[in-house]
């Protein structure tokens, strides 16, 4: 947690306490704030940050701006945007008034813009975008830029600003090393965001019925890269069997890929060479998950439906596209323990259609004789519309 909100005030701890035998109240509270962050006690950190700021105000200390910044950033992290605004605005004013006190006005301005976006202040998105641009020019820490870019990207998705979403997810991708998550995951999530923005922009363009070929290739490439980055992370199962964040994101990548595959097929488009070279419809490897303690190779399996998944009634007439990912859990006896839809692009009707299907799982003959059947895998399902007729299409499951 410290990397997110401890940057601006780090100087005050070093400058004030390097030679002090007995720390001042400001330093004592700041140390308590840092210690609370180290143990992920955000409530305790906010208490100490508030006390550190109050002590600085009582002594008219030069570090008020930095301490106000920390308090504002911490409150924003805890979801208290209304409580974060006043200290952040004060930090910004003091950063401009006393530029030599160590707090960057660009950093303080970025925080204020993030808080205003969280509070739905009019034109906050434009101010945050400008603040992000200034932050990159000023070479602020990657962590600050990453957090702000992701917040604006998510806002843009929600508000159907797909052009802005594409740009800000690209910024998040470029500064993924500053993410609170592993860099590979952060880059994969940003690439998924870019692909979604491209697809949504194409779907919302009422001037054409077919996707632009270059945009389609770009979206496929982003999804392919996201899949590659996530594979090792998504292969790590929890002992409880719960789906991990990496697996959930991986499933979303596959679901959006299924949507794009459907559109490529219905438009009669040619797949990019990088996808064709993988020997699969989209270049994705879908199987993930394996008990870490097992040295035995995993069996090759064949999955199929005992009952076809039907395109929901009325969806074709509305021109809907959809994709989904299903997690299959198989025991050592080769029995299907559970089949759960873990990612869906489309309405609940598509989820219902999948849940009505019955899965068949069998061991392939080309499997290693000593292979194990116990596994957890994720498979995608594409709902397609054949050609331009609007007729529902059926997608057979791949081996």
Which domains are seen in the chain, by residue range? 2-152 (1.25.40.10), 221-393 (no CATH)
pLDDT reading at 277 higher than 50: no
Return the H-helix or E-strand segment holding 336.
strand 336-345
Instruction: Give, in order, the Cα–Cα distances in Å from 338 to each of 68, 291, 359, 373.
Output: 50, 16, 10, 14
For residue 198, what is the DSSP state? H
- The per-residue pLDDT for 388 is 35
Residue of higher predicted confidence among 302 and 148? 148
d(CA 284, CA 307): 25
- The per-residue pLDDT for 1 is 44
What average pLDDT does this structure show over 169-186?
Answer: 96
Q: 239: which 2 tokens?
A: 């002992």
d(CA 236, CA 65): 43
Q: 288: which 2 tokens?
A: 């993930």
Read off the pLDDT of residues 112-149 as tens digits, 9 standing for 90 and up: 999 999 999 999 999 999 999 999 999 999 999 999 99
- The per-residue pLDDT for 175 is 97
**Maximum average pLDDT range among 124-138, 324-338, 378-392:** 124-138
What average pLDDT does this structure show over 274-287?
Answer: 44
pLDDT reading at 320 higher than 70: yes
pLDDT reading at 291 higher than 70: no
Residues 6+ apart with CB under 8 A from 322: 258, 259, 262, 315, 344, 345, 346, 347, 350, 383
Return the H-helix or E-strand segment holding 385.
strand 375-386
Q: 22: which 2 tokens?
A: 């007995």
pTM over 0.75: yes
| Average pLDDT along the chain | 83
Residue 278 neighbours by CB distance under 10 Å: 14
The answer to whether 110 and 118 are in contact (CB under 8 A) is no
């Amino acid at each position: 947690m410290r990397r997110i909100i401890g940057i601006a005030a780090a100087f005050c701890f070093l400058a004030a306490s390097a030679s002090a035998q007995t720390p001042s109240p400001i330093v004592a509270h700041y140390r308590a704030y840092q210690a609370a962050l180290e143990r992920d006690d955000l409530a305790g950190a906010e208490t100490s940050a508030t006390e550190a700021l109050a002590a600085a105000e009582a002594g008219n200390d030069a570090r008020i701006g930095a301490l106000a910044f920390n308090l504002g950033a911490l409150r924003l992290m805890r979801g208290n945007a209304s409580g974060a605004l006043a200290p952040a605005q004060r930090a910004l004013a003091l950063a401009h008034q006393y530029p030599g006190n160590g707090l960057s006005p660009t950093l303080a301005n970025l925080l204020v813009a993030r808080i205003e976006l969280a509070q739905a202040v009019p034109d906050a998105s434009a101010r945050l975008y400008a603040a992000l641009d200034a932050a990159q020019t000023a070479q602020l820490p990657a962590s600050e830029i990453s957090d702000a870019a992701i917040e604006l990207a998510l806002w843009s998705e929600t508000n159907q600003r797909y052009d802005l979403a594409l740009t800000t997810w690209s910024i998040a991708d470029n500064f993924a090393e500053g993410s609170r998550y592993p860099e590979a995951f952060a880059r994969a999530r940003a690439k998924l965001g870019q692909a979604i923005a491209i697809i949504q922009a194409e779907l919302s363009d009422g001037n054409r019925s077919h996707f632009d070929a270059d945009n389609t290739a770009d979206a496929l490439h982003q999804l392919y890269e996201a899949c590659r980055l996530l594979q090792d992370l998504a292969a790590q199962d929890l002992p409880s069997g719960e789906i991990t964040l990496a697996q959930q994101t991986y499933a979303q990548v596959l679901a959006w890929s299924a949507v794009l595959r459907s559109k490529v097929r219905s438009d009669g488009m040619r797949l990019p060479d990088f996808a064709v070279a993988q020997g699969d419809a989209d270049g994705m490897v879908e199987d993930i998950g394996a008990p870490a303690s097992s040295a035995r190779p995993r069996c090759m399996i064949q999955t199929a439906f005992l009952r076809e998944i039907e395109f929901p009634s009325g969806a074709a007439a509305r021109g809907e596209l959809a994709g989904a990912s299903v997690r299959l859990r198989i025991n050592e006896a080769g029995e299907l323990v559970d089949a759960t839809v873990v990612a869906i692009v489309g309405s609940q009707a598509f989820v219902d259609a999948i849940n009505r299907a019955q899965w068949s799982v069998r061991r392939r003959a080309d499997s290693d004789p000593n292979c194990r059947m116990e596994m957890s895998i994720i498979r995608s399902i594409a709902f397609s519309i054949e050609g331009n007729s609007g007729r529902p299409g059926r997608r057979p499951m791949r081996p």
